[in-house]
Chain A
Amino acid sequence: MGRDSFEIIVNGVKMIVIFLMMVQVVPILVWLERRGSAFIQNRFGPNRVGPLGLLQLLADAVKFLTKEEFFPEKGIKFLYYAAPVSALIPATLAFLAIPLGAPIKLDTFEMFGQTWGPYTFLIQGYEIGVGIVFILAVSSLAAYTILMAGWGSGNKYALLGALRASSQTISYELAMGLSIVGVILLYGTFNLTDMVTSQQGPLSFLFQGHTVTLGWLPNWGIFYQPLAALIFYAAAFAESNRLPFDLAEGEAELVAGFHVEYGGFKFNLFFIGEYGHCLVASALMVTFFFGGYQIPLITPDEMLVHVQGLMGAGNAAAIVNGLLHHVVFLIKMAVFVWIFIQVRWTLPRFRYDQLMDLGWKTMLPWALANTILTAALIYVAHT
């Protein structure tokens, strides 16, 4: 597979498109969050601008861009401006490493009087061999954004908010990292694409030399690792500092947390980063436990045959197949994003000691138990 200009351009454009998709999802999520919360609390929510208030997104964007430029007098200029810009980086880097659709295999084709291909394009920014480790690594850098913002604002409430946010983030990173050990044990790899591939077809596993098959269930990770899924998702809530774990922004004590001195588009960049973390967590839930981009019980290759039956063999069928799986992924992901929103408007906030107790004394031991149990079960099943 040689590298030529077409492939490099497509890969570059793809990364930017995935990033812009992420940015575009944020206003939709904000709208969903406001309408959803209004629905839960028996209010109207935004309903003035456009049908169902949908144009509110546009109005918000204009408002963000036309806000007055503000810099607090005690702030540190470099850190104050660098923090919102760098807030985008961890979430985007992590999101680009997740496989969002079945790979598109293109045959040779003619374009501009030249023969191109064959190519294999992944619906994914870049494929990284140690996918999970990469995602954990870049996500752990998110703490600096918060600390930079807190320090650069020159405001003690911002600093306290940053301290609490980072302290909370690192406490739950342990439970999250340990719950992933069970997942890695199950699949035996760090590579996210390999994980998705090993979840294809109906539920079937090896037990003491016998293959057990349940034809009516997909071979998803959730059936092997339910506890890990629960711990991972709960830790993801805490990592993205959302209710019920939003102590970093507790309005009553801390005014607004680390971003108290930020407004306009600078605040919006933090917002994109925060929603980016929700998206990454939801996408990882789908990838680890719910079969990734696969349609239940049908492997991507079988689906390709169906699509080719409808459209005829060719590059168009391959592209349609890839995008179809991408849509499936987005639907699965939307479910988890909705749970994020639903939980935010249903549960009350924890107290700080309860939050720390939950992370260290409940989730960490349970994740440990899950690891030991998984290892023991795999040992029993394979001997």
Chain B
Amino acid sequence: MTPDVFLFWFLALTTVLAALGVIISANPIYSVLSLVMTMVGVAAIFVTLGAYFLAGVQLIVYAGAVLVLFVMVLMLFDLKHEIHAFTRGPVTGAIKIAAVGLLGGMIVGAIALSANSLMKTENNGIQTVIEGDSTKALGKLLFSQYLFGFEALGVLLLVVAVGAVALARAKGGTHAQH
């Protein structure tokens, strides 16, 4: 086993186990910390593929920003009732069974669909890994082929910001002043 192959299997196994931890752990805090671990694992796999910048962005945006918000929210709400409601009771049991069935179906389907390509050993039409730094290529593509999407994203983020501020300012609910 070459170091590269070992590294891939190690990272893949860690990532999948962490992802399992997200859905298995009953405590939401552990769930979200496992999700952090999953993101870090995915970033490391990006590195093995030569996508260094993407790996960094994965960490900065998902692990460093989005999930910090998740952790903060979970830590500050008292979730005892919710934990109880989501781990016990007949409705929850039915949902669990349905979820297991769904997952099993997805796995069977994925294997059935990809059995052909799994058997093949030669290149499945996937482009070979870009050697060296792919960041500059990314920057050039962003400003030529995908310029419209890039500018549209700026507008989208603005709309999201406006929406968040509007929601936070809304009066009502448990925090109503009057």
Question: Which of B49-57, B85-93, B143-151 forms contacts with chain A?
Answer: B49-57
Are A140 and B57 within 8 A (Cβ)? Answer: no
Are B57 and A133 within 8 A (Cβ)? Answer: yes
Are A128 and B68 within 8 A (Cβ)? Answer: no
Q: Does A151 contact B (CB under 8 A)?
A: yes
Count of B residues near A, CB < 8 Å?
A: 23
Are A133 and B33 within 8 A (Cβ)? Answer: no
* Segment 125-144 of A: residues with Cβ below 8 Å from B: 128-130, 133-134, 136-138, 140-141, 143-144
Are A159 and B56 within 8 A (Cβ)? Answer: no
Q: Does B64 contact A (CB under 8 A)?
A: yes
Are A150 and B68 within 8 A (Cβ)? Answer: no
Q: Does A104 contact B (CB under 8 A)?
A: no
CB 8 Å contact bits of B52-85 with A (1 = contact, 0 = none):
1101110110011100100110011000000000
Q: Does A375 contact B (CB under 8 A)?
A: no
User: In the bound complex, what is the Cα–Cα distance between A163 and B74 (angstroms)?
Assistant: 12
Evaluate whether A190 and B135 lie within 8 angstroms (CB atoms) in the complex, with A137-B59, A137-B60, A163-B76 already known: yes
Q: Does B29 contact A (CB under 8 A)?
A: yes
Q: In whole Å, how far is A159's beta carbon from the nearest beta carbon of chain B? A: 6
Which one of A130, A140, A163, A190 lies within 8 Å of B64 (CB-CB)?
A: A140
User: In the bound complex, what is the Cα–Cα distance between A64 and B64 (angstroms)?
Assistant: 31
Are B60 and A166 within 8 A (Cβ)? Answer: no
- Residue among A129, A159, A162 facing the most chain B CB atoms (10 A cut-off): A129
Evaluate whether A147 and B64 lie within 8 angstroms (CB atoms) in the complex, with A130-B53, A130-B56, A130-B133 already known: no
Residues of B within 8 A of A137 (CB): 43, 55-56, 59-60, 63-64
Residues of A within 8 A of B53 (CB): 130, 133, 190
Which one of B43, B52, B71, B132 lies within 8 Å of A147 (CB-CB)?
A: B71
Evaluate whether A130 and B135 lie within 8 angstroms (CB atoms) in the complex, with A144-B36, A147-B72 already known: yes
Q: Does A256 contact B (CB under 8 A)?
A: no
Are A151 and B75 within 8 A (Cβ)? Answer: yes
CB 8 Å contact bits of A117-129 with B (1 = contact, 0 = none):
0000000000011
Q: In whole Å, how far is B173's beta carbon from the nearest beta carbon of chain A? A: 21
User: In the bound complex, what is the Cα–Cα distance between A214 and B160 (angstroms)?
Assistant: 48
Residues of B within 8 A of A147 (CB): 68, 71-72, 75
Q: In whole Å, how far is A147's beta carbon from the nearest beta carbon of chain B? A: 5
Residues of A within 8 A of B75 (CB): 147, 150-151, 159, 162-163
Residues of B within 8 A of A167 (CB): 72
Dominant SS among interface residues on chain A: helix
User: In the bound complex, what is the Cα–Cα distance between A173 and B57 (angstroms)?
Assistant: 14
User: In the bound complex, what is the Cα–Cα distance between A143 and B53 (angstroms)?
Assistant: 21
User: In the bound complex, what is the Cα–Cα distance between A151 and B73 (angstroms)?
Assistant: 12
Are A136 and B60 within 8 A (Cβ)? Answer: yes
Are B132 and A140 within 8 A (Cβ)? Answer: no
Are A141 and B63 within 8 A (Cβ)? Answer: yes
Residues of B within 8 A of A129 (CB): 52, 132-133, 135
Closest-by-CB residue of B relative to A159 is: B75
Dominant SS among interface residues on chain B: helix
- Residue among A133, A151, A159 facing the most chain B CB atoms (10 A cut-off): A133
Are A133 and B71 within 8 A (Cβ)? Answer: no
* Segment 104-148 of B: residues with Cβ below 8 Å from A: 132-133, 135
Count of A residues near B, CB < 8 Å?
A: 25
Are A170 and B76 within 8 A (Cβ)? Answer: no
User: In the bound complex, what is the Cα–Cα distance between A79 and B60 (angstroms)?
Assistant: 23
Are A133 and B60 within 8 A (Cβ)? Answer: yes
Residues of B within 8 A of A173 (CB): 64
Closest-by-CB residue of A relative to B36 is: A144
* Segment 4-57 of B: residues with Cβ below 8 Å from A: 29, 33, 36, 40, 43, 52-53, 55-57
User: In the bound complex, what is the Cα–Cα distance between A190 and B52 (angstroms)?
Assistant: 11
* Segment 230-258 of A: residues with Cβ below 8 Å from B: none
Residues of A within 8 A of B60 (CB): 133, 136-137, 140
Closest-by-CB residue of A relative to B50 is: A129
User: In the bound complex, what is the Cα–Cα distance between A129 and B55 (angstroms)?
Assistant: 12
Are A141 and B64 within 8 A (Cβ)? Answer: yes
Residues of B within 8 A of A148 (CB): 33
User: In the bound complex, what is the Cα–Cα distance between A127 and B110 (angstroms)?
Assistant: 39
Residues of A within 8 A of B68 (CB): 143-144, 147, 166, 170
User: In the bound complex, what is the Cα–Cα distance between A37 and B76 (angstroms)?
Assistant: 37
Residues of B within 8 A of A143 (CB): 64, 68
Sample of 11 more A-B contacts, CB < 8 Å, known A137-B55, A137-B60, A151-B29: A128-B52, A129-B133, A136-B64, A137-B43, A137-B63, A141-B36, A141-B59, A143-B64, A147-B68, A147-B71, A163-B75
Task: List 23 A–B pairs whose Cβ atoms lie within 8 Å, in order of A's numbering.
Answer: A129-B52, A129-B135, A130-B52, A130-B56, A130-B133, A133-B53, A133-B56, A134-B56, A136-B64, A137-B55, A137-B59, A137-B63, A137-B64, A140-B63, A141-B36, A141-B40, A159-B75, A159-B76, A162-B75, A163-B75, A163-B76, A166-B68, A170-B68
> 8 nearest interchain CB pairs?
A140-B64, A133-B56, A137-B59, A130-B52, A137-B56, A129-B133, A143-B68, A137-B60
| A interface residue numbers (CB < 8 A to B) | 79, 128-130, 133-134, 136-138, 140-141, 143-144, 147-148, 150-151, 159, 162-163, 166-167, 170, 173, 190
